[in-house]
Amino acid sequence: MTLAKETASLLEKLGVARDALSGGDLVVHSPVTGEQIAALKSISAADAGKAIDAAHKAFQSWRLVPGPKRGELVRLLGEELRAHKDELGRLVSIEVGKIPSEGLGEVQEMIDICDFAVGLSRQLYGLTIATERPGHRMMETWHPLGVVGVISAFNFPVAVWSWNAALAFVCGDAVVWKPSEKTPLTALACEAIFNRAARRFGADAPAGLLQVLIGDRAAGEVLVDHPKVPLVSATGSTRMGREVGPRLAKRFARAVLELGGNNAGIVCPTADLDMALRAIAFGAMGTAGQRCTTLRRLFVHDSVYDALLPRLKKAYETVSVGNPLEGKALVGPLIDKAAFDNMQKALQEAQAHGGKVTGGKRVENGHPDAYYVHPALVEMPEQVSPVTEETFAPILYVMRYTDFDEALEQHNAVGAGLSSSIFTRDLQESERFLGVDGSDCGIANVNIGTSGAEIGGAFGGEKETGGGRESGSDAWKAYMRRATNTVNFSKALPLAQGVSFDI
Ligand code: NAD
């Protein structure tokens, strides 16, 4: 069976009609073989506007459904995802090229956030606040916000949607989703899965609660500029965030920006090198280096450099690269030719700056339009371009250090601020790293790699990563509006700060 046929059959099982998959202008390729697997129709700007209006209408009734009942819809969504985990995981592998356990892991993450959101639906707590005025009560309440726009990247084609959507739905919002133009099929699958959950939920789930805008950035721009979208959660490159952020600010809409990372690790003299090796290998080579949290820079203390590097090189030389659908490879393909070209360009630049490259070459597999590469390990004399930029491919730059403070300074000396880790058994070093003058990232780990976050924590990063937070902890607050309410149950009207105004 061709991949196109398998894709159509998986989508049909999930409830997506076959005739939606052909004859359109948006051609979808599988990076596994490079072959075309569908041609979808992009939405026009006018239809995107209508979809947003429909979502707004759905919001107006959905917000009146009590929070715990809204949680029931998300519970059903989680059930549907459990029932269709294999099909959706396989589709992720076909459309993005992830190895099976990562494709399934992505769906598991969706299930996890649904479980989290169901609990949250009974915990959208406000505060009761002490008031200086007698006979008064002051509190804050949280209300549904409106239509939440979600723009997602190709590399987590379904999990990022669920992080936003599961929270938005329990918070009483409607969702309009613009998936990556490289991965629209998994979005159609999620839409069908959600619609099944909504049908089971019944009439209280209004039509139009989830809208999917198939298309390129033009469809995303409609979402960004639409006055009925008070929040846009946009995941993608820093370049995209630089365009989207100011446009949202111009109309005072909220932005949750989840942008590029240039994540680093520090291997200290007391590190458990076995543990560090495994964490580095997964962090740097997993998902073919196409995670926002991929480990891209490594600072290794001089005293352990010569013990670690040969082992790391061996891991790079022996890692299995190949067709993820056959289930044996640990590293699948890059998403497309442009990703391969960017990787080669960065490696050439690194070499020009004295970098010594292990790996990085293309792996031929009989499919001229599929781009498999050996992950590259680059020993760099110092942190100069291209080390300071995110290249979305499996390149790990390794640098030696002797002084911890200098390593920390270099660690923080890049634009992005997403994820970071330190490998040490020295309490002073690990606490420094996690402390006020330590890692400047949104995620800072000890003896764990930079990637593979759990949904329970708030996810996101600082600086050019955009500052947004999604998923766990109190990230839900971005999806609601807060009102401070003061109730006077006395017979007088005392003014705050002792102000008198007697008429
Ligand atoms: P991309 O920026 O090319 O595209 C991301 C999405 O933004 C797509 O849906 C695209 O159509 C849309 N888009 C682009 N320009 C737009 C505009 N001007 N207006 C509205 N929408 C626009 O990113 P990509 O190549 O799909 O993904 C890789 C990038 O995403 C990497 O930089 C990676 O680090 C980042 N990423 C970040 C996170 C995170 O949580 N911080 C997670 C995943 C990926």
**Is the C-beta atom of 216 inside 6 A of ligand 1?**
yes
Both tokens of 501, joined, read 């105004």
Expressed in angstroms and rounded, the spacing between residue 93 Cα and the centre of ligand 1 is: 19
Mean pLDDT, rounded, of the chain = 97
Report which protein residue has its CA nearest ligand 1's atom 35: 236
pLDDT in tens, 433-476: 999 999 999 999 999 999 989 999 999 999 999 999 999 999 99
Expressed in angstroms and rounded, the spacing between residue 450 Cα and the centre of ligand 1 is: 20
**Is the C-beta atom of 392 inside 6 A of ligand 1?**
yes
Average pLDDT (402-409) is 98
**Is the C-beta atom of 106 inside 6 A of ligand 1?**
no
Both tokens of 359, joined, read 């790996």
Ligand 1 test: best mutation among 154, 186, 213, 237, most atoms within 8 Å of CB? 237
pLDDT over 80 at 26, yes or no:
yes
Expressed in angstroms and rounded, the spacing between residue 179 Cα and the centre of ligand 1 is: 9
**Is the C-beta atom of 178 inside 6 A of ligand 1?**
yes
On whether the CB atoms of residues 387 and 380 are closer than 8 A, the answer is yes
The helix-helix angle for 67-83 and 85-96 (nearest 10°) equals 70
What ligand 1 atom has the least distance to the C-alpha of 179?
A: 9
- The number of residues making up the chain comes to 503
Q: What is the pLDDT of residue 54?
A: 98
Distances (CA, A) of 333 to 291, 297, 394: 13, 21, 10
> What's at 3, amino acid-wise?
L
Reduced to 3 states (helix: H, G, I; strand: E, B; else coil), residue 260 is coil
Ligand 1 test: best mutation among 102, 106, 152, 155, most atoms within 8 Å of CB? 155
Alpha-helix residue ranges (DSSP H) falling in 18-99: 45-62, 67-83, 85-96
Active site residues: 258
What ligand 1 atom has the least distance to the C-alpha of 392?
A: 31
Both tokens of 117, joined, read 């959101």
What ligand 1 atom has the least distance to the C-alpha of 459?
A: 40
> What's at 81, amino acid-wise?
L
Ligand 1 test: best mutation among 213, 222, 235, most atoms within 8 Å of CB? 235
What ligand 1 atom has the least distance to the C-alpha of 151?
A: 9
Both tokens of 79, joined, read 């059930």
Banded model confidence at residue 429, pLDDT cuts 50, 70, 90: very high
* Global ipTM: 0.99
Q: What is the pLDDT of residue 210?
A: 98
Both tokens of 163, joined, read 């992080």
Expressed in angstroms and rounded, the spacing between residue 183 Cα and the centre of ligand 1 is: 12
Banded model confidence at residue 328, pLDDT cuts 50, 70, 90: confident
Q: What is the pLDDT of residue 327?
A: 73
**Is the C-beta atom of 241 inside 6 A of ligand 1?**
no
Distances (CA, A) of 347 to 37, 355, 376, 380: 31, 8, 8, 11
Q: What is the pLDDT of residue 87?
A: 97
Distance CA 428, CA 270 (A): 12
**Residue whose entry in the numeric block shows the structure tokens 């639409």:** 226
pLDDT in tens, 288-300: 999 999 999 999 9
The sign of the CA dihedral 333, 337, 342, 345 is positive
By percentage, how much of the chain surpasses pLDDT 70? 100
**Is the C-beta atom of 153 inside 6 A of ligand 1?**
yes
pLDDT in tens, 145-200: 999 999 999 999 999 999 999 999 999 999 999 999 999 999 999 999 999 999 99
pLDDT over 80 at 132, yes or no:
yes
481, β-bridge pairs: 143
> What's at 43, amino acid-wise?
I
pLDDT over 90 at 35, yes or no:
yes
Expressed in angstroms and rounded, the spacing between residue 237 Cα and the centre of ligand 1 is: 4
Report which protein residue has its CA nearest ligand 1's atom 42: 292
Expressed in angstroms and rounded, the spacing between residue 27 Cα and the centre of ligand 1 is: 18
Expressed in angstroms and rounded, the spacing between residue 152 Cα and the centre of ligand 1 is: 6
pLDDT in tens, 71-92: 999 999 999 999 999 999 999 9
**Is the C-beta atom of 247 inside 6 A of ligand 1?**
no
**Is the C-beta atom of 259 inside 6 A of ligand 1?**
yes
DSSP assignment letter at 463: E
Expressed in angstroms and rounded, the spacing between residue 202 Cα and the centre of ligand 1 is: 34
Distance CA 235, CA 151 (A): 6
Q: What is the pLDDT of residue 365?
A: 86
Distance CA 443, CA 421 (A): 8
Q: What is the pLDDT of residue 1?
A: 79
**Is the C-beta atom of 181 inside 6 A of ligand 1?**
yes
Apex 110 CA angle, 64 and 227, nearest 5? 45
